Amino acid sequence: MSFKLSIPLVLSLLASFSAVSAQQCNATSLCPSSAPCCSEFGFCGTGDFCLGGCNPLASNTLTSCMPEPVCQNANLTFSDTSRILSNATYFDGNATKYDWVVNSGTIINSTSGELAMILTEDNGGTRLSSTRYVHYGQITARLKTGRWGGVVTAFITMSDIKDEIDWEFPGDQTTEGQSNFFWQGVVPQKTVGETHGNLSDTFSNYHDYTIDWQQDTLTWLIDGQTVRTLKRSDVTGDDGVSRYPSTPSRVQLSIWPAGINSSGQGTIDWAGGLINWDDPDYKAAGHFYALVESVSVTCADSKSNPSDAQSYVYGKNASAFSPQVTVTNETTVNNGAGSLRALAGANVWTAIGASAVMALGALLV
């Protein structure tokens, strides 16, 4: 289950973008050429709509979205916020300038080099997205979760066509974590999520949560120990379709309010009930929070990609059942609102199957 944004917050984000069409979009209702890019929220537009989260299968053409910045091995820490863009709508696609963008909410950089993601009754939660994508690889987040009913801490990967791999920590269950995955946003009738327990307090103690995502095997680990493994063959149906996450994805970190009245009852129950905004922790600090110490990324394609590889692009024959991704040297930078690029003439090497930053010393409980 991915980070949820409230309708008022989504509308305010849409209003801040450079050009917005009232038209909604999906795989069967594509965007018009005048507003060619289908944003992660399912609205047509230009400019920012064509960057992170732009769905190529719902946009005007497969080449309407900007190319996705290619994966690079990294160990990302948070001693300061110089590599975090605090407002994602100002991101132009240049992943050499920033490692993260803040999609919504508020972050705090603590004096001990931790990143705090903040949830208040008014801000709707905080979400950060990596500026680079991962197309198979190993990602580890070292973090401390929240501990309050209705509040969810999450570390996930999310592709532009909604392939998703999750580590989630709902409510006040501080001795366990939950693993899950989704294929192209399809919610199965029966959940495929699993719970992994016997952890030392996840609020008080840092743990390393790993997503080891390879072409045929997906493994979830805690502190280096495997807790779950999924094979591609496990989710390949009789129709031959592999319902396995297989498209380039951003890394996302978040804290979000599942336990609010606008959520479905099932979501509220899953998250541990409605949030108590009178909780002593909230009263003392003025917010709930989760802490991140580091995120490391080891790209599976780092050795096979050319040294000047810049981007992933969905291929001409990409479809919902067989998304094809190419590694190219196309630029990822969107020079101005509505700036689009054409695939023709691109140098394509490889086809691969497919808010404000608060000051130091802010009060934490």
The pLDDT mean for the chain works out to 87
**For 309-364, what is each residue's pLDDT tens digit?**
999 999 877 667 778 899 999 999 997 533 333 332 333 333 333 333 333 333 44
Q: Is residue 167 part of a domain?
A: yes
| Count of all residues that appear for the chain in the document | 365
Which pLDDT score is estimated for 321? 78
Amino acid in the structure at residue 13:
L
Q: Is residue 10 part of a domain?
A: no
Average pLDDT, stretch 173-192?
94
What amino acid positions are annotated as catalytic residues? 164, 168
Select from 247, 315, 338 the least CA-distant residue to 51: 338
How would residue 19 be classed by pLDDT, with cut points 50, 70 and 90? low
Q: Is residue 34 part of a domain?
A: no
**For 69-124, what is each residue's pLDDT tens digit?**
999 999 999 999 999 999 999 999 999 999 999 999 999 998 889 999 999 999 99
Task: Copy the structure tokens of residue 306.
Answer: 């050319």
Select from 233, 101, 253 the least CA-distant residue to 167: 253
Q: Is residue 328 part of a domain?
A: no
How would residue 137 be classed by pLDDT, with cut points 50, 70 and 90? very high
Select from 298, 294, 289, 297 the least CA-distant residue to 169: 289
**For 215-235, what is each residue's pLDDT tens digit?**
999 999 999 999 999 999 999
Which pLDDT score is estimated for 40? 94
Domain containing 272 — which CATH number?
2.60.120.200
Instruction: Give the burial string for 40-72 (b: 16+ CB within 10 Å, else e).
Output: bbebbbbbbbbbbbbbbbbbbbbbbbbbbbbbb
Q: Is residue 235 part of a domain?
A: yes
Measured CA to CA, the distance from residue 180 to residue 129 in angstroms comes to 19
Measured CA to CA, the distance from residue 179 to residue 230 in angstroms comes to 11
Which pLDDT score is estimated for 302? 84
Which pLDDT score is estimated for 188? 87
Measured CA to CA, the distance from residue 245 to residue 160 in angstroms comes to 11
Measured CA to CA, the distance from residue 113 to residue 106 in angstroms comes to 16
Contact of 60 with 33, CB cutoff 8 Å? yes
Report the relative pairing of strands 207-213 and 217-222 from DSSP bridges: antiparallel
Which pLDDT score is estimated for 360? 31
Helices (H), the chain: 7-16, 265-270, 280-285
Cα separations in angstroms, 49 against 135, 178, 196, 228: 21, 31, 37, 35
Domain assignment of residue 214, given as a range: 69-301
Q: What is the DSSP letter of 22?
A: E
Q: How many domains does the chain have?
A: 1
Which pLDDT score is estimated for 346? 34
Q: Which residue has the higher pLDDT, 179 or 341?
A: 179
Select from 59, 109, 129 the least CA-distant residue to 318: 59
**For 25-80, what is each residue's pLDDT tens digit?**
998 999 999 999 999 999 999 998 999 999 999 999 999 999 999 999 999 999 99
Amino acid in the structure at residue 140:
T
The residues near 261 (Cβ < 8 Å, ≥ 6 apart) are 274
Report the relative pairing of strands 84-85 and 100-104 from DSSP bridges: parallel
Give the three-state DSSP class for 218.
Answer: strand
Q: Is the pLDDT of residue 7 over 70?
A: no
Measured CA to CA, the distance from residue 300 to residue 14 in angstroms comes to 34
Which pLDDT score is estimated for 314? 93
CB neighbours (10 Å) of residue 32? 11
Q: Is residue 295 part of a domain?
A: yes
Q: Is residue 197 part of a domain?
A: yes
Q: What is the DSSP letter of 319?
A: -
Select from 151, 122, 162, 134 the least CA-distant residue to 270: 151
- What radius of gyration, in Å, describes the C-alpha atoms of the chain? 20
Task: Copy the structure tokens of residue 79.
Answer: 């001693």
Which pLDDT score is estimated for 21? 57
Q: Is residue 37 part of a domain?
A: no
